[in-house]
A and B are shown apart, each in its own frame.
Chain A
């Protein structure tokens, strides 16, 4: 038998038909929807007089524009946003779909609740009209973001057409220093290999660093696969994954031995071929922060912002524009930059383990004066559990706002935004122009780096903190 990859196995176990051009018709096991794009997919479906093949396998939440202020109402602060929320409520009722509404204890950012509730599982296919669905590859699910029309297709046929894809293996080796997080690793990877390196590819992350990595960090890593251009990202399920998944509300309750066996058998066979491979030793990596307006504009915290020059020596207009927009200069160090706001939130870095690590840094410290700091837990459950552990107190005593769960200020639509042109250090995944509000200057970083920068008032090197506390 030929050696096959994790992706091959996931594809083959869902492949209904293969077409001459190498594309496949694949079975879709789960669909997740949020109000911002899902309501529209449902509206189109109804307008086209189609019905949903398996309504029980469709899960909906209200996350993108939900108000995140403490004690929030059941609405949004986004002007005109109510129509999305109301449409979601009406359609899920009409169609008999599971909805985790704003006041539901299961509510949260779609890619945070999918693993948390056991909806995302190893070995399944899962789609959602949202680009960061690739997050769920961290559990060994073949999960990817789609548009609304393809979403309608998945609902009405329980299948999707997947084009032939190339496979890229990213092997992470070395010893992961205590300050180095999955966020730093993925930012380094994108900066080194570009935001378009993985276009047309499925990424598989593997190697010793992955084996010892906690599940929630694996989710962070895969979350940003799409920022490298990938169709999706994957990590082979192992015993850690099995332990993480089983017991959750929508995880298998019967046939768990068979399921476990199936999951553990998905790992890439020895000798399986990839179209290309990247090796990265993480031992010497510094915490990473972005300086520009694409996730590929990242540097190690102690490096200077690079000159806007292409490999062939020509000046690079995209980078020149990014420097101007961010009001930074080539040669400058990020640690010299004062910040206005610090944000811990999003599907990238607002799970319980993220908040715990940030809290370790915030404990007995205060946010620098003049800095606004906000924490938005990734789900209502994360928030509740964090509160049970007293993390909310740590955040609030340090001077952070402690908000309700949602996408909120990760992107500018929830009715909140940072002040005009503010410099934000953010645990999110996109630093596009205006992503977090008009003129917002977003520097992507790990939640730990965000926490420390909030305390210092300037973008800060986490390693100094670690050497101080020993």
Chain B
């Protein structure tokens, strides 16, 4: 994964609350067991007039279809962006389309982590700051995001933002979270040794696996809980 240190680009505005991952990429657009080939389905139901029948006729009203949105790499939204389904396809589709930075007042929690894992920087700003930003940007404004110093600038505006230090490092270096965690392998193994004596029942999976599943399926409390 490529790191992000400094990014400049044009922004598009999608100023509604609760834009969910079903909207970012409809389930129907996730057609293969793959992270790629998703950009075409990004915001499909909003972007295409005939998406429901698999069509690709652009809806001229939709922000990404406006000529001025061409090449935009920054998306500005409002609260709870990326809520809903855990589908990482939402982030893959945004990334493949070209988005590198998202700005919102809050995010769906799974979506936020998915962004960090895939080299998209999710910036949190308060409502007032977003309003100032959206007032300042127009179709041609270049926004400059500096992750080294955690600020973004547009025209005469300069805005600070905060990001957890580890997440910032991950994005800066484009590092892989699994490799980072495996540096703690020794601590994990030690914990496991201890835990197996502390909670032995959690590790006792052999019994159930070897039994005939069908005989043990019905459970007495199912009958009792009739209300």
Taking beta carbons and an 8 Å cutoff, which residues of A are in contact with B? 13, 16-17, 19-21, 23, 25, 27, 29, 36-37, 39-40, 43-44, 48, 50, 56-57, 80, 83-84, 87, 98, 104-106, 116-118, 121, 123-124, 129-131, 145-150, 152-153, 156-159, 161, 163, 195-196, 199-200, 214-216, 229-231, 243-244, 247-256, 258-259, 262, 294, 296, 317-318, 321, 352-353, 356-357, 381, 384-385, 411-413, 420, 430, 432-435, 438-439
**Do residues B182 and A157 form an inter-chain contact, with CB atoms below 8 A?**
yes
Which residues on the B side are within 8 Å of A353 (C-beta)? Answer: 225-227
Query: Which residue from chain A places its CB closest to the CB of B17 in the assembled complex?
Result: A318
Q: What are 29 sample pairs from A and B whose C-beta atoms fall under 8 A apart? A: A17-B184, A25-B184, A37-B87, A40-B33, A40-B34, A48-B178, A80-B32, A105-B214, A105-B217, A106-B213, A123-B202, A147-B111, A149-B117, A150-B113, A158-B192, A159-B184, A161-B181, A199-B108, A200-B109, A229-B109, A247-B219, A247-B221, A252-B202, A254-B207, A255-B200, A259-B199, A296-B18, A385-B218, A432-B22
A422 to chain B, nearest CB (A): 13
**Do residues A131 and B84 form an inter-chain contact, with CB atoms below 8 A?**
yes
Select the stretch in B23-31, B64-72, B132-140 that faces chain A: B23-31
**Do residues B221 and A244 form an inter-chain contact, with CB atoms below 8 A?**
yes
B227 to chain A, nearest CB (A): 6
**Do residues B191 and A16 form an inter-chain contact, with CB atoms below 8 A?**
yes
Within 8 Å by CB of B83, from A20, A21, A196, lies: A196
Given contacts A17-B187, A353-B225, contact A248 B219 (CB under 8 A): yes
Whether a CB of chain A sits under 8 angstroms from the CB of B73 is no
A156-B180 Cα distance, complex, nearest whole Å = 12
Which residues on the B side are within 8 Å of A105 (C-beta)? Answer: 213-214, 217
**Do residues A27 and B110 form an inter-chain contact, with CB atoms below 8 A?**
no
Within 8 Å by CB of B222, from A249, A262, A352, lies: A352
**Do residues B204 and A255 form an inter-chain contact, with CB atoms below 8 A?**
yes
Which residues on the A side are within 8 Å of B18 (C-beta)? Answer: 195-196, 294, 296, 318
Within 8 Å by CB of A432, from B20, B165, B218, B220, lies: B20
Chain A interface helix/strand/loop/mixed: loop
A461-B84 Cα distance, complex, nearest whole Å = 28
**Do residues A56 and B205 form an inter-chain contact, with CB atoms below 8 A?**
yes
A230-B108 Cα distance, complex, nearest whole Å = 8
Mask of B79-120 contacts with A, CB within 8 angstroms, 1/0:
110011111100100000000000000111111011001100
Query: Which residue from chain A places its CB closest to the CB of B117 in the assembled complex?
Result: A149
**Do residues A50 and B187 form an inter-chain contact, with CB atoms below 8 A?**
no
A434-B85 Cα distance, complex, nearest whole Å = 14
Query: Which residue from chain A places its CB closest to the CB of B29 in the assembled complex?
Result: A413
4 new A-B contacts, CB < 8 A, other than A146-B110, A434-B45, are A40-B88, A50-B178, A117-B217, A131-B86
Which residues on the B side are within 8 Å of A57 (C-beta)? Answer: 205
Given contacts A106-B213, A148-B88, A356-B226, contact A21 B164 (CB under 8 A): yes
Whether a CB of chain A sits under 8 angstroms from the CB of B195 is yes
Query: Which residue from chain A places its CB closest to the CB of B92 in the assembled complex?
Result: A148
Interface residues on B, range: 35 or more
A259-B200 Cα distance, complex, nearest whole Å = 9
**Do residues B27 and A411 form an inter-chain contact, with CB atoms below 8 A?**
yes
Within 8 Å by CB of A129, from B32, B86, B187, B219, lies: B86
**Do residues A253 and B207 form an inter-chain contact, with CB atoms below 8 A?**
yes
B38 to chain A, nearest CB (A): 11
Whether a CB of chain A sits under 8 angstroms from the CB of B209 is yes
**Do residues B86 and A147 form an inter-chain contact, with CB atoms below 8 A?**
yes
Query: Which residue from chain A places its CB closest to the CB of B54 in the assembled complex?
Result: A79
B152 to chain A, nearest CB (A): 21
A200-B109 Cα distance, complex, nearest whole Å = 7
Of listed B187, B201, B214, B221, residue having the most chain A CB within 10 A: B201
**Do residues B208 and A40 form an inter-chain contact, with CB atoms below 8 A?**
no
**Do residues A149 and B164 form an inter-chain contact, with CB atoms below 8 A?**
no
**Do residues A118 and B26 form an inter-chain contact, with CB atoms below 8 A?**
no
**Do residues A229 and B84 form an inter-chain contact, with CB atoms below 8 A?**
no
**Do residues B177 and A161 form an inter-chain contact, with CB atoms below 8 A?**
yes
Within 8 Å by CB of A145, from B86, B181, B192, lies: B86
Whether a CB of chain A sits under 8 angstroms from the CB of B157 is no
A152-B31 Cα distance, complex, nearest whole Å = 20
Which residues on the A side are within 8 Å of B226 (C-beta)? Answer: 353, 356
Given contacts A80-B31, A357-B227, contact A434 B22 (CB under 8 A): yes
**Do residues A199 and B86 form an inter-chain contact, with CB atoms below 8 A?**
no
A356-B227 Cα distance, complex, nearest whole Å = 8
Within 8 Å by CB of B225, from A40, A156, A200, A215, lies: A215
**Do residues A156 and B206 form an inter-chain contact, with CB atoms below 8 A?**
no
Whether a CB of chain A sits under 8 angstroms from the CB of B2 is no
B105 to chain A, nearest CB (A): 9
**Do residues B35 and A40 form an inter-chain contact, with CB atoms below 8 A?**
yes
A50-B176 Cα distance, complex, nearest whole Å = 13
**Do residues A256 and B201 form an inter-chain contact, with CB atoms below 8 A?**
yes
Of listed B18, B35, B209, B211, residue having the most chain A CB within 10 A: B18
**Do residues A130 and B86 form an inter-chain contact, with CB atoms below 8 A?**
yes
Whether a CB of chain A sits under 8 angstroms from the CB of B159 is no
**Do residues B114 and A229 form an inter-chain contact, with CB atoms below 8 A?**
no
Which residues on the A side are within 8 Å of B108 (C-beta)? Answer: 199, 229
A17-B84 Cα distance, complex, nearest whole Å = 29
Which residues on the B side are within 8 Å of A250 (C-beta)? Answer: 205, 208
A29-B221 Cα distance, complex, nearest whole Å = 25
Query: Which residue from chain B places its CB closest to the CB of A258 in the assembled complex?
Result: B201
B161 to chain A, nearest CB (A): 16
